[in-house]
Chain A
Amino acid sequence: RKEVEQDPGPFNVPEGATVAFNCTYSNSASQSFFWYRQDCRKEPKLLMSVYSSGNEDGRFTAQLNRASQYISLLIRDSKLSDSATYLCVVNRPRGSQGNLIFGKGTKLSVKP
């Protein structure tokens, strides 16, 4: 099983749609989870951290299921500006720094 696995997409959705991405991770000892957004040919930017109880930031909702070792991101009322690649990020709990492992990303394309 890969350390972090995502559906590569692309997800092509109309404006206003609700879209959900899932991500699975292999190390049950991982403690930190994030969603990053990466625009074409740009650096990744933190979208949101993922907390055990789930968390929401405007149109974005992140959930963590430790038992099944997966993370999800829900985007409601999609905007054209949401078009990007969404990276699932999980810490690798080794040593004292818990290096981050990045998924390959799920590409979202929101169409008018």
Chain B
Amino acid sequence: DGGITQSPKYLFRKEGQNVTLSCEQNLNHDAMYWYRQDPGQGLRLIYYSQIVNDFQKGDIAEGYSVSREKKESFPLTVTSAQKNPTAFYLCASKAVESGNTIYFGEGSWLTVV
């Protein structure tokens, strides 16, 4: 089935450790996005990529890094520099021809312990 797959769904991390969240899509979408959602808050854009080997910072990029080596993959690394990493992380993608409609993966819950 076509879709966006995020893994892991739940992740616990010790303070000071980096962690990488995986996002894979088989929709042949050009653009991919990472959002963060905190309880009772709207989604905030971390990074986005319009094309392979190119990505741009979103509104809250500090403490995060990404790569886009393949069209279908857009992993997000949460580094130890991110002060409040506990959140729900959502990966999304969009086809150029779909206007601005984006579709989400099921999300990854990251908890720092």
Contact = CB atoms under 8 A, between A and B. Distances in A.
A32 interface: yes
B90 A91 contact: no
A28 interface: no
A1 to B, nearest CB: 15
Nearest to A2: B42
Interface in B68-110: 88, 90, 99-107, 109
| Chain B, interface residues (CB within 8 Å), range | 20 to 34
Given A42-B107, A43-B90, A97-B50, A32 B100 contact: yes
A98 B100 CA distance: 7
B107 A104 contact: no
Interface in A90-104: 91, 95-104
Nearest to B96: A97
A54 interface: no
B99 A43 contact: no
| Chain A, interface residues (CB within 8 Å), range | 20 to 34
Nearest to A45: B104
Contacts of A55: none
Contacts of A44: 43, 90, 104
Contact of B31 (A32, A41, A97, A105): A97
B100 A100 contact: yes
A10 to B, nearest CB: 11
B100 A43 contact: no
Contacts of A105: 42
Contacts of B88: 41
A91 B101 CA distance: 10
Contacts of A49: 99, 101
13 contacts: A32-B100, A34-B101, A41-B88, A42-B107, A43-B107, A46-B101, A49-B99, A49-B101, A100-B45, A100-B102, A101-B42, A102-B35, A102-B42
Interface of A: 4, 8, 32, 34, 41-46, 49, 87, 91, 95-105
Interface of B: 31, 35, 40-43, 45, 48, 50, 56, 58, 88, 90, 99-107, 109
